[in-house]
Amino acid sequence: MNKDARVFVAGHRGLVGSAIVRRLQGAGFNHLLLRTHAELNLRDAAAVDRFFAAERVDYVFLAAAKVGGIRANDAYPADFLRDNLQIQTHVIDAAWRNGVQKLLFLGSSCIYPKLAPQPIREESLLTGPLEPTNEWYAIAKIAGLKLCQAYRRQHGFNAIAAMPTNLYGPGDNFSLLDSHVLPALLRRFHEAKANGAPEVVVWGSGTPRREFLHVDDLAGALLFLMERYADESPVNVGWGEDLTIRELATMVARVVGYAGRLSFDPSKPDGTPRKLLDISRLQGLGWRPQIRLEEGLWQTYAWFLENQASLRS
């Protein structure tokens, strides 16, 4: 990729998009095209068309999506399905019609079957039923990945798809109800410490296993794939190891400095029992993640402390 290339990062204010922007700027890309939601509504097909027709975009990182944790997915199924179908269809189609050289679509590890063999290989896609708590989001993301494959086959459009595991880092959504587990726990332990609360309640049984990747590692992998990968198969992006939610909660308590008790609320859903990606395809291409979970947690907690005033509720 030429450093003068015109690069559109869709969703640049989100966790993933903002990390991609940091990475691209650090690497010297000087023609980033960024639009806030108010400036360009990606659910409006005509507006997306006008944008691509006017801007002569070379590369697209499609990181715009309606996202959320286990409760948000369950509470807003229509939004999760419709918003994501619209955003990705409009952007992929307009990008192809307006001569974009290459597009990278961001999927998610939840596209794989609930009971896929672990660690999950890319070949597990569509081999079994999905986890019901996030199937709306998963169905949309599967459709996005299929759009990339279909435009590649029918039109020769160079669209690729990356499937990241659970992500965390600066810029995350720290909402107590609608966020993912890691930012929710960072905030809950922080508030419990500040209030002197004797106990923190963690949702579910604490036994599900999850893998976490720092979003700066993801951004490095995405730039790597944009520069070196051109095939229709998706590529998993993960850390390669997982831990239980109980182990995660213990680690978060240590980082925050919370000394009270942990308890579990089994009335809240556990979700899928395990979700660990097989990252051998990406490793085979020559890329490895670098930020260990505990180190990433310290860094993310520092970011949280600095940005508390401006966090989404």
Q: By CB under 6 A, name the binding residues for ligand GDP.
A: 69-70, 110, 134, 166, 179-181, 184-185, 202-204, 208, 210, 245, 268-271
Q: How far is the CB of 41 from ligand GDP (least distance, A)?
A: 27
Q: How far is the CB of 154 from ligand GDP (least distance, A)?
A: 32
- Output 24 or 67, the one with its CB closest to ligand GDP: 67
- Output 7 or 106, the one with its CB closest to ligand GDP: 106
- Output 18 or 109, the one with its CB closest to ligand GDP: 109
Half-sphere exposure of 11 (CA within 13 A, CB side): 25
Half-sphere exposure of 155 (CA within 13 A, CB side): 19
- Output 87 or 200, the one with its CB closest to ligand GDP: 200
CA dihedral 17, 23, 25, 28 (to 10 degrees): -140
Residue 160: strand pairing partners: 104
d(CA 165, CA 128) in angstroms, rounded, equals 19
Q: Is 137 a catalytic residue?
A: yes
Q: How far is the CB of 202 from ligand GDP (least distance, A)?
A: 4
Please say whether the beta carbons of 84 and 137 come within 8 A: yes
Instruction: Give the number of other Cβ atoms within 10 Å of residue 40's Cβ.
Output: 17
CA angle 261, 262, 264 (to 5 degrees): 145
- Output 122 or 270, the one with its CB closest to ligand GDP: 270
Q: Which tokens hold the place of 264?
A: 């579990």
Q: How far is the CB of 71 from ligand GDP (least distance, A)?
A: 6
Catalytic residue among 137, 151, 168, 258: 137
Q: How far is the CB of 25 from ligand GDP (least distance, A)?
A: 29
Q: Encode 41-76: b = buried (16+ Cβ within 10 Å), e = exposed.
A: bbbeeeebeebbeeeebbbbbbbbbbbbbbbbbbeb
Active-site residues, by number, are: 137
